């Protein structure tokens, strides 16, 4: 992982930041995909596999959330970081994944109660 503390406004640094942001998108997308796979397994009645997939989903989401937290801490609400379309897109992916996981967790519990 790159040292976010050393990022400045040079072209190379902005490209490096975009790579970090892409990691955020990839990890959050993976978390969402795993959660939907878990829901599919729950619908099939395989709650053990659903739980395992949700655990994997949580780990991917945690990785994404750590990057987001570091970006926020580095900015400290002072506008140090330039807001780019890719950064907004990454935030959108992360929040969508977090919401999907929360709702899918509830749906899996409902499927389990029904069975």
Catalytic (active-site) positions: 89
Centre a 10 Å sphere on the Cβ of residue 14 and count the other Cβ atoms it contains.
14
């Amino acid at each position: 992982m790159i040292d976010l503390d050393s990022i400045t406004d040079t072209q190379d640094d902005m490209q490096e930041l975009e790579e970090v942001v892409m990691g955020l998108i990839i990890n959050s997308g993976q978390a969402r995909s795993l959660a939907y796979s878990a829901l599919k397994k729950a619908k099939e009645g395989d709650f053990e596999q659903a739980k395992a997939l949700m655990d994997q989903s949580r780990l991917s989401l945690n990785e994404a959330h750590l990057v987001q937290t570091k970006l926020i801490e580095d900015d400290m609400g002072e506008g140090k970081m330039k807001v780019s379309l890719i950064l907004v897109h990454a935030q959108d992916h992360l929040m969508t994944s977090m919401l999907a996981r929360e709702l899918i967790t509830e749906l899996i519990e409902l499927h389990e109660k029904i069975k």
